[in-house]
Structure 1
Amino acid sequence: MPTNLPPLDQINALTTQGIGFLTTLNELLDAEYHALQQRDVAELQTLVEQKTAVLQQLEENNQSRNQFFIAAGITPNKAGLADYQSRLNEADAHAFKHGWSELEIVLRQVNDKNKRNEIVISRNSRNLEQLMSILRGQNQKNTLYNQSGGKGNYAAQNSLGKA
């Protein structure tokens, strides 16, 4: 193995650590989904704090891994990683590929669960907005966007237009 390549054991250790952070985030997203369904605000606040901490750790992990690659002149993207893998012996290349494949799988799961939770949050937000509108006595047909892009109420304008 050429000497300018970053040490595989350190890269694999950081990759394994990244998988651990993503797995934790995956579990937190499941817990968040259940808390959203139960409308458990206290639990949601706790989960947001935990997710923030894990995301910070994951970011530090990614930066460390990228620094190893950049220091060796390897671009930390798909093409750069493929080039790195091609320069390894067969056993090391297999270990590297296995770690990265697992990292990608867990990352896709995290992305999917994050999208799922965003949909639930968006749906709950729309429902709350509709309830608040009903409580205020506003007709949804009277809602229009104002100049700042926010929703405005044009009921008074409508009655003036008829006059």
Structure 2
Amino acid sequence: MNALPPLDQINALTTQGITFLTTLNDLLDAEYLALQQRDVSLLQELIEKKTATLLLLEENNQTRNQLFISAGITPDKAGLQSFQAQLSATDASSFTAHWTQLEQVLRQVNDKNKRNEIIITRNSRNLEQLMSIIRGQNQKNTLYNQSGGKGNYAAQNSLGKA
């Protein structure tokens, strides 16, 4: 087995991950407000910032995972528990504190992302219904096409009668 990765390096990467997740958490709060205000330009700006933050977070995760893999530790829950078991009590406590904080912020980000996704889905559905009314389409005339998108079969219905 390879030597354990330096704890200070792991904790530094974990702290950096917490920072990226906290930024993402704040961006999701701003996105929530922008969705409520229907501020399209702000939403576009936030999407760009979220994308940049997600790329940094992904790079951070890959670096941290590579550090574990190079030491022969799998970057999953079992591997992390094994790593923690090999540390001194003080180091294990430090590692656990950092990792617990990372998990907490990640849960917050997931919850806020789901919240925003629900709003976006609901707004999209409402817009689709309004557009359907404006076009004079009957909702009962809507079917799904082969690609999974919605299609209007009203014209097919009138052709079938002819």
Q: Do the structures match in fold with TM over 0.5?
A: yes
Match of residue 124 from structure 1: 123
Aligned residues, how many? 162
d(CA) in 2 for partners of 1:61 and 1:157?
A: 53
Match of residue 54 from structure 1: 53
Match of residue 104 from structure 1: 103
Match of residue 65 from structure 1: 64
Partner secondary structure for residue 4 of structure 2: coil
Partner secondary structure for residue 5 of structure 1: coil
User: Which residue identity lines up with residue 138 of structure 2 in the other structure?
Assistant: N
Displacement of 1:103 after TM fit?
Answer: 0.3
d(CA) in 2 for partners of 1:148 and 1:41?
A: 28
| TM-score normalised by length of structure 2 | 0.95
Match of residue 39 from structure 1: 38
d(CA) in 2 for partners of 1:149 and 1:104?
A: 35
Displacement of 1:159 after TM fit?
Answer: 3.8
User: Which residue identity lines up with residue 44 of structure 2 in the other structure?
Assistant: Q
**Seq. identity, %:** 77
Displacement of 1:147 after TM fit?
Answer: 3.0
Partner secondary structure for residue 53 of structure 2: helix
For the structure 1 residues 148 and 15, does the alpha-carbon distance in structure 2 shift closer, same or farther, using more than 3 Å as the test? closer
Displacement of 1:25 after TM fit?
Answer: 0.3
Match of residue 7 from structure 2: 8
Displacement of 1:153 after TM fit?
Answer: 1.6
d(CA) in 2 for partners of 1:30 and 1:98?
A: 25
- Do structure 1's residue 139 and structure 2's residue 138 form an aligned pair? yes
| TM-score normalised by length of structure 1 | 0.94
